Structure 1
Amino acid sequence: MLKKVFFVVFASISLISCYTPNRDCQAYKTGEFLFNYSIGDSLKQGRFVRGYNYSIDYYDNKIDSASIRWLNDCEFVLQDLKSKVGIHYKIIGTTDTSYTFEYKNAVKDPNRKNVVKIGTAYRVQ
């Protein structure tokens, strides 16, 4: 009986660990997207239009532009054109209408903990 339980547990763990989320990153390199973000207690929605080399963000009645440097099919660095601050993005999963990503500062600050956040962008059309 113990061998059967061990086999079922081992088989289950093996199947789960082999699962990788769908990542069709090419489909999300360019386009118009919506995303939700929070400031304090309020939930807001932003929009961005991404081409191959630049991204234009529309959020909180502001417009911001950034350059894009693709590291591979699923990772890129977005660098703000004004402040030159870089954010590293990694697409970790995709669906037919959205992608989930991780993001963090592109340059590590030795005085601050490197925090990785997760978000989802939804294709507009």
Structure 2
Amino acid sequence: MKYVLLIGLASLFTACYQPTRNCKDYRTGTFHSEVVINGKVFTSDFTRNEKVQVETYDDHKDSSEVRWINDCEVVFRTIHPKNMSERKDVHLKILTTTDSSYTFEYSYIGETKKQKGVAYKVD
């Protein structure tokens, strides 16, 4: 009986917790992001406005069209794809926000494998 009560109380507190998601604060601006893939950290810098995102990664610049699905989800389409992988649209979902960063997950549309990362607002 004691365990049932403890489990009930624990689930009550965790069920009420909602992560902070002030996604509108991150629709536009200049950012620095970090993604860990297989133990290696990949970084990029990007600037985003309501219609376009320009990202620099390993001295390579990419421009993508931005289409917001809702306040916390966006789809990116590479403007001038150079190969088949760049033709795939990317779906990004903001999971949580802080006053200066957001945690996100992303994947190619149609694929189930998702990666997570953090983006820090620079300006």
The TM-score, its normalising length taken from structure 2, stands at 0.86
Q: Aligned partners of 1:5 and 1:38: how far apart in 2?
A: 38
Whose Rg is larger?
A: 1
Name the SS for the 1:64 alignment partner: strand
Identity score, percent: 34
Q: What is the alpha-carbon root mean square deviation over aligned residues?
A: 1.8
Runs of 4+ in 1 over 3 A off after TM superposition: 37-44
Identify which of structures 1 and 2 has the higher relative contact order when contacts are C-alpha pairs closer than 8 Å and 6+ apart: 2
Evaluate the alpha carbon distance shift between residue 42 and residue 10 of structure 1 in structure 2; reply closer, same or farther with a 3 A threshold. Answer: closer
Name the SS for the 1:49 alignment partner: strand
Evaluate the alpha carbon distance shift between residue 86 and residue 34 of structure 1 in structure 2; reply closer, same or farther with a 3 A threshold. Answer: same
1:53-72 equivalent positions in 2, closer than 5 A: 53-72=51-70
Evaluate the alpha carbon distance shift between residue 40 and residue 91 of structure 1 in structure 2; reply closer, same or farther with a 3 A threshold. Answer: closer
Evaluate the alpha carbon distance shift between residue 55 and residue 9 of structure 1 in structure 2; reply closer, same or farther with a 3 A threshold. Answer: same
Evaluate the alpha carbon distance shift between residue 75 and residue 39 of structure 1 in structure 2; reply closer, same or farther with a 3 A threshold. Answer: closer
Evaluate the alpha carbon distance shift between residue 16 and residue 61 of structure 1 in structure 2; reply closer, same or farther with a 3 A threshold. Answer: same
1:6-21 equivalent positions in 2, closer than 5 A: 6-21=4-19
- In the alignment, structure 2 segments of 5+ residues that lack a partner are 82-86
The TM-score, its normalising length taken from structure 1, stands at 0.85
Q: Structure 1 residue 43: deviation in Å?
A: 3.3
Name the SS for the 2:90 alignment partner: strand
CA deviation string 1:44-96 (max 9, x = no partner) = 42100000000000110111100001101110101111223200011110000
Q: Aligned partners of 1:116 and 1:7: how far apart in 2?
A: 36
Amino acid in the other structure paired with 1:52:
E
Q: Determine the structure 2 residue equivalent to 1:101.
A: 104
Q: Determine the structure 1 residue equivalent to 2:120.
A: 122
